Chain A
Amino acid sequence: MMLTGRCLPRRTFLKGVGAVISLPLLDAMTPALRAAAPAGPSRLAFTYVPNGVTMADWTPAGAGRAFDLPRILQPLAPFREQLLVVSGLSHQNANALGDGPGDHARAAACYLTGVHPRKTAGGDIQNGISVDQLAAAHWASETRLPSLELGCDDSRTVGNCDSGYSCAYTNSVSWRGPVTPMPPELNPRLVFERLFGAFDRDADPAVRARRLHDRRSVLDAVTGRARALSMDLGAHDRRKLDEYFTSIREIERRIDVAEHDTRDLPPGIEKPPGIPVGYADYVKVMFDLQVAAFQADQTRVVTMMLGREGSLRTYPEIGVPDPHHPLTHHGGKTDWIEKVTKINVLHMELFAYFLGRLRDTPEGDASLLDRVMLVYGSGISDGDRHAHDDLPVLLAGSGNGAWKGGRHLTFAPGTPMANLYLTLLDRVGVTPESIGDSTGKINQLTDM
């Protein structure tokens, strides 16, 4: 569909963004099957910004506890004690390594995997498993959705995305497996329906039970077909169908969960109407949905892309009518750098909104902010040079004490970003031998 005059349900105008979703904590909402889980589980939230940031306005001057918040980080001042600014980490595998151009595609693909993606426009995409999906697999049996992938770029892609790389690389930072990108959901209404159910909320229990039975029969028929098909197809075709059957099994599992889940939609929560017109409103609704998802423990792992890598979004509302990506190739021109910084600051203000919502949402004797491990950053540091070293990385929240905040950590140049991921996973009890190019855990998160 052609998105021209933006259309929005009236509700948005009546209620104002931010008020659309507000979810009180109701212990009754906790499904029976999660009764054994600890009172406040840790969660992981990754927030990705495209095209790098103005590093001069990002990296704090001091180290340790003595550091000032530079301009881009200023919006986070109220959360200083829950921040860990991390400098010096790199994604070597986002570099060309002989593959030529395509730094934007590699930046996104490598960001959470630490893997050098195969250069291809189609057929044989190959990346690694992303850190969020490792955590999602760990928690899969505990929440309704293993993970949630969100994006805030509602434009459709046309043609090749970056220098001979498939659009799958620029569109998704989350990868369930080397050939399975997890495309972000862009429409807040659909995110809501995914989290809180699209239908049957008001159906009577008998009808509901019949529907569940029918749905399960439908899936049985599909999986029955899987056996017959896998017999007579070539390896390549089989792989495509296997992907489908794997997803079908996950839906089966979810239907099982739904059968035992008799709670109603919590009061106070309303379905967002669609994609808001203004970018800030759009991003805020998506952050609201993350808060709601964590609050209702529908999932514990979320990735969100504030824009797809190489984004051409314009920001006229903050005086930047130029598209983002070309601006980052500023060649040192100060007025262009200023515009890039303005975009960076806007993104950070929105992230601060998210932190505020988490802080204001109590859970047990703490707040959601105390439970969540937030990782904010980009797969590119200096967008002008497409650099993948000394990446802008920021941890926020606390993840039940996964780190000691209020500090600026600096690492030796070339320390793999994946080492940080390995460490974060360790905090939630996931212990893969390595992630991408990781060389080991880092111990400065809690050591002072």
Chain B
Amino acid sequence: VRTWLAVVPALLLTLTHVSARVSPRGSDDAFPQAVQPFLADHCFGCHNTTKAKGGLDLKAFRTADPVAEAPDTWEKVAAKIRTGEMPPEDEERPDPAAAAAVSRWIDEHLARADAAAPADPGRVTTRRLNRAEYNNTVRDLLAVDLQPADEFPQDDSGYGFDNIGDVLSVPPLLAERYMVAAERVSRAAVFGTGQIKPTLVRCQPRARSIQPSPLVPARYDETGLAMPNAVHATRRLPAAGTYRVRVFTGGSRPAGSEPVRIALWIDGAKIAEQTLDPTAVASFTDDKQDFSGKVREFELSLSAGEHWIAASIPAIFEGLPASYGGPRPSALPEPPPPVFVPPADADPERIERRRKAFEAEHAAPVPANDARISYFEVAGPYDVAPGPSLETKQHLYACGHLSGGHTSTCPRTILRSLTRRAYRRPVTAGDLEPLLALFTSARAHGDSFDEALAAAVHAVLMSPDFLFRIERGGPAGAGAADADLLRLTDHELAARLSYFLWASMPDRRLRRLADEGRLGAAGVLDGEVRRMLQDPKAQALVQEFGGQWLQIRALESAAPDRDRFPAFDDYLRISMRRETELFFERIVREDRSILEFLDAPWTFVNERLALHYGIEGVRGPAFRPVALDGLPRAGVLTQASVLTVSSYATRTSPVLRGKWILENLLAAPPPPPPPGVPPLPDATATAPQSVRQQLEAHRANPTCASCHRRMDPLGFGLEHYDAIGAWRETDGNTPIDAAGALPDGRTFHDTAELRAILAGEREAFTKALGAKLLTWALGRGLESPDRRLVRSFARDLPRDGYRFSALVLAIVHSPAFQMRRGSPS
């Protein structure tokens, strides 16, 4: 067996059954002998000089090794032959052994060509900080967590991410917001956030249907969080301080109930509970206790940033009158049944009407679980600490005078330290003089020391050196044959690392290593990367990169039809997102294999998600790892978050899900539909035909078939999961058929078999994740030399057990990450 086979076991998996039977042609054979005859038989009919279908003329390649001339083209050719996408279905099928041998020949020559190619780091356009980076950088620079960039206009995305230098522009609106944000942040750093005025916001459920019942279920969520009568919201708080949460209730309980409790939850933990006794206030009816308009206020101290706030009625089926049969029935005497009192001075007819109305009203038993949280209000912050925090003072006052008493050299000391961190590089007199001049002028104008300092800090935050990540590179030609190639300085490398893994500025340790010129030293760089991946700030990688790669950011605006999916509420929405984040975090933190994204037999759930997935024995809102043995779920693909964002509001879409898999897991995005094609019948779940039948009819059209035979079957394999990711056996009245056949002839009967097939696509998945992560790390679209790097991930990662850090390190070690092309002036 040839050596290259040893390093590409992924390929082996799909090819061994072929190579066992035929002896492959020697890879030392030149192109005219090894490949051309196959192409002539199967490809030239369309891909010739005159037709050049899909813009590809394979006849034009005549040299002994054309792969080096157009590696990306041949990578695609090999992939299409290997997956059976080409030649198209209606053409004669090539001999599998011959096809395998040809794609293998191409792969091997690709590896050689890649190894021989000169380094080319490409060009990264100066990037401004995006919203998340701005928030995080300000937080780390001054320990001021105001999240000011939440008020910036949306960052445009390109290549699937919102950190692409070429795409991030600075419209006038953004510059205006910079001005406001920088002033707020600088004043908060010098004077504290005490100037923030308290605001009051009301948090209401989007839509819900509460169906009260007099029956007490055998099992229910005793925290109340998963009940439709709870209210969940996420709020981003501008500052740490005291907040008041006022919980408004509604609905009713039968007379004779014990008081109910109102629980307040912050980030999944119960913070406080208060009882609410409806008997304390008069009720309009005598067999019900009315909650409407009753309020409980909680005062609590909260940190700045995003919080998940929820109010619920725990143990709602407890304390009911004994006749309801709930657990822990009420000790209060059961009230006598209401008695009809005929109105005085009324004629018999009228009394009879009243009696009928009375009987009708009391005929149905009073629901046991009608009490609800209507909404809550969050007011604050109050009692914000008057000055800046100690941490902020330590960040800002490099002169060491944390409580005033500055000397004449302090402004320079303070601003030198601040700019070094804010500009992420050593600073010069030229950087400092304008700031000191500003400080002096402000003083001369009547500003206090603090006012003048705030103005100088404001100027630092408005400087392009802060807002943009400007890279110049080290001395030309250093360490490279190409005089145009520049190695990044250690400080620039530190910033690339920190924005890649933390979406924020370098920390003290990275800065020190860069100052000492040791960051690039052997062993140091790898150690730093590993340390950074363990740091809590690496959550940004999960939220920012992960949220866009897996597209779960779209959960935020997902609006599943409430009639079809009444189970979808904000608790479930929040839980879905959290599951996927925790899953990704664990892979990063424990440096697990990236292949677990495809088939990990574990995940994280809380009670709400456990209910959604049908997992027993999980209580409470806290997430915990669970094994998925015996459950039809594994990997990200069957997580409710992914299944929801790849569905329409009213129904599943095999096409969307197939496309999601091809784009995000297999690096084989289908081209967009050609213009003028008839619309997909995909959406008519209500029509008598099943979605599957319609899609199959659709694929009879050869124009559609070439892509849809790749997308649709993948989506069919997930049809057991509805549009919010719950398991189902039928769609309407049609039993689910989750079988499918891929273009290369492989078939599956259900999701598990489909997953097994996908789990075998290690090479494709490594390339898919690798290309996405590289795009994110570089902040630019990938070009031909980058494709080379992506191919090398697929070759090298098996050696490292596909560990997540191995992929990150492969990116960090690449010329694209460590070098830049000099700027033409």
Which A residues fall within an 8 A CB radius of B?
Answer: 1-10, 13, 96, 100-103, 121-125, 149, 154-161, 163-164, 166-168, 171, 176, 179-187, 190, 193-194, 198-199, 210, 213-215, 217-222, 224-226, 228-229, 232-237, 240-241, 243-248, 250-251, 273-274, 277, 312, 314, 316, 321-323, 326, 329-331, 333, 384-386
CA distance A50 to B300 in the complex (A): 44
Q: Mark B805-825, 1 if CB is under 8 A from A, else 0.
A: 000000000000000001111
A-side contacts of B462, CB under 8 Å: 218-219, 221-222, 248
* Given A160-B159, A229-B470, A6 contacting B204 (CB threshold 8 A): yes
Flag B235-278 by CB within 8 Å of A: 1 or 0 each.
11000000000000000000000000000000000000000000
Residue in contact with B435 in the complex, picked from A125, A187, A221, CB distance below 8 Å = A221
Would you give the shortest CB distance from B97 to chain A, in whole angstroms? 36
Docked complex Cα distance between A384 and B678 (Å): 8
Kindly state the separation between the CA atoms of A184 and B204 in the bound complex, as whole angstroms: 26
Question: Chain A's nearest CB lies how many Å from the CB of B91?
Answer: 24
The chain B residue sitting closest to A231, CB to CB, is B825
The list of the 7 closest CB pairs from A to B, nearest first, reads A234-B823, A122-B158, A155-B557, A5-B233, A247-B175, A329-B679, A163-B672
- Name the distance in Å between B200's Cβ and chain A's nearest Cβ: 5
Tell me the chain B residues, 541-569 only, with Cβ under 8 Å from chain A.
548, 551, 553-557, 559, 561-564
Give the complex CA separation of A404 and B473 in angstroms.
63
B672 proximity list for chain A (CB < 8 A):
100-102, 163-164
Quick one: closest B residue to A222, CB to CB? B462
Interface string of B150-174 (1 = CB under 8 A from A): 1101101111100011110111111
Please state if B153 and A100 are interface contacts (CB–CB under 8 Å): no
Least CB separation from B126: chain A residue: A237
When C-beta atoms are compared, the residue in chain B nearest to A164 turns out to be B672
Tell me whether B200 and A10 are in contact (CB under 8 A): yes
Distance in Å: Cβ of B515 to nearest Cβ of chain A: 22
User: Nearest B residue to A194 by beta-carbon distance?
Assistant: B176
* Bound-complex Cα distance A321 to B565 (A): 11
A4 with B234: CB separation less than 8 A: yes
Q: Give the segment of B359-367, B442-450, B585-593 that binds chain A.
A: B442-450
- Cβ of B13 within 8 Å of any chain A Cβ, yes or no, is no
Which chain A positions have C-beta within 8 A of B200? Answer: 9-10
Cα–Cα distance between A370 and B749 once the two chains are bound (Å):
67
Complex CA gap A156/B162 in Å reads 11
1/0 contact trace for B191-210 toward A, CB 8 Å? 00000000111111111000
Contact B470 A121 (CB under 8 A): no
Establish whether residues A221 and B463, one from each chain, have CB atoms under 8 Å apart when the complex forms.
yes
Which B residues, 5 to 40, have Cβ-Cβ distances below 8 Å to chain A? Answer: none
Query: Of the 9-residue stretches B62-70, B492-500, B680-688, B789-797, which lies at the interface with chain A?
Result: B680-688
Binds A, one of B319-327, B399-407, B570-578, B618-626: B570-578
Q: Which of B388-396, B451-459, B709-717 contacts A (4 or more CB under 8 A)?
A: B451-459
How far apart are B381's CB and chain A's nearest CB, in angstroms?
A: 15
Count residues of chain B with CB under 8 A from any CB of chain A: 107
Distance to closest chain A CB from B643 (angstroms): 16
Interface of B is mostly: mixed
Question: Bound complex: CA of A244 vs CA of B202, how far in Å?
Answer: 37
Residue B649 lies at the interface, judged by CB distance under 8 Å to chain A: yes
Neighbouring B residues of A125 by C-beta, 8 Å:
167
- Which residue of chain B has the shortest Cβ distance to A245 in the bound complex? B464
Q: In whole angstroms, how far apart are the Cα atoms of A7 and B380 in the complex? A: 14
Bound complex: CA A166 to CA B125 (Å): 16
B438 contacts the other chain (CB 8 A): yes
Cβ A123 vs Cβ B158 within 8 A: yes
Say whether B430 contacts A228, CB under 8 Å: yes
Task: Say how far B641's CB is from chain A's closest CB, in angstroms.
Answer: 12
- Of the residues B123, B171, B182, B202, contact of A181 by C-beta under 8 Å: B171
B-to-A contact residues, CB < 8 Å: 123, 125-126, 128, 150-151, 153-154, 156-160, 164-167, 169-176, 179-180, 182-183, 199-207, 231-236, 306, 377-378, 430, 434-435, 437-438, 441-442, 445-447, 451, 454-455, 458-459, 462-465, 467-468, 470, 472, 548, 551, 553-557, 559, 561-564, 570, 573-574, 577, 645, 648-650, 672-676, 678-681, 683-684, 780-781, 822-825
Closest B-chain residue to A386, C-beta based?
A: B675
Q: A214-B458, A277-B204 are contacts. A96–B675 as well, Cβ < 8 Å?
A: yes
- Name which residue of chain A comes closest to B441, CB basis: A217
Q: In the complex, what residue of chain A is closest to B553 when comparing beta carbons?
A: A158
B176 nearest in chain A by CB position: A251
12 contacts between A and B (CB under 8 A): A9-B201, A100-B675, A122-B158, A156-B554, A160-B159, A166-B156, A214-B442, A222-B463, A247-B171, A321-B561, A323-B649, A331-B679
* Total cross-chain contacts (CB, 8 A): 299
A2, A237, A333, A386: the one contacting B577 at CB < 8 Å is A2
Chain B residues with Cβ under 8 A from A163's Cβ?
672
**A185, B464: Cβ atoms closer than 8 Å:** no
State in angstroms the CA–CA spacing of A168 and B167 once bound together: 8
Q: How far is the CA of A300 from the CA of B234 in the complex (A)?
A: 37
Instruction: Report how far A102 CA is from B672 CA in the complex, Å.
Output: 8
B234 contact set on A, CB distance < 8 A = 1-5
| Residue of A whose beta carbon sits closest to that of B157 | A167
Q: A123-B166, A167-B167, A250-B175 are in contact. List 9 more A-B contacts (CB 8 A).
A: A5-B233, A103-B675, A159-B157, A215-B179, A218-B438, A234-B825, A237-B125, A240-B165, A321-B561
| Residues in A whose Cβ lies below 8 Å from that of B306 | 1-2
Give Cα distance in the complex from A65 to B377, angstroms.
Answer: 54
Do B233 and A161 touch across chains, with their CB atoms under 8 A apart? no
CB distance from A319 to the nearest CB of B (A): 10
Check if B455 sits within 8 Å of A218, measured CB to CB.
Answer: yes
Nearest chain B CB to A204's CB is how many angstroms away? 13
Give bound CA distance, A9 to B200, whole Å: 5
* A157 cross-chain contacts in B, Cβ below 8 A: 154, 156-157
Query: Of A4, A229, A234, which one neighbours B824 at CB under 8 angstroms?
Result: A234
Residues on A with C-beta less than 8 A from B441 are 217
Chain B CB within 10 A, most for which of A8, A221, A329 = A221
Bound Cα distance from A179 to B123, whole angstroms: 19
Which of A10, A183, A229 has the most chain B CB within a 10 Å cutoff? Answer: A183
Give the contacting residue for B650; candidates A225, A236, A321, A330; CB below 8 A. A321
B160 touches A13 (CB 8 A): no
Known pairs A149-B173, A314-B649; A159 contacts B551 (CB<8 A) = yes
B684 — nearest CB in chain A belongs to which residue?
A333
**A residues less than 8 Å from B154 (CB atoms):** 156-157, 171, 183, 186
Contact B679 A166 (CB under 8 A): no
A91 to chain B, nearest CB (A): 15
| A156 x B674 contact (CB < 8 A) | no
Q: Are B180 and A210 in contact (CB under 8 A)?
A: no
Shortest distance from the beta carbon of A219 to any chain B beta carbon, whole Å = 7
Listed residue (A125, A240, A246) with the most chain B CB atoms within 10 angstroms of its CB: A240
Q: Are B125 and A123 in contact (CB under 8 A)?
A: yes
In the bound complex, what is the Cα–Cα distance between A121 and B675 (angstroms)?
18
Chain A residue with the shortest CB-CB distance to B445: A213
Q: Tell me if A160 and B235 are in contact (CB < 8 A).
A: no
Q: Which residue of A lies closest to B651 (CB)?
A: A322
B648 x A210 contact (CB < 8 A)? no
Is A121's CB under 8 angstroms from B159's CB?
Answer: yes
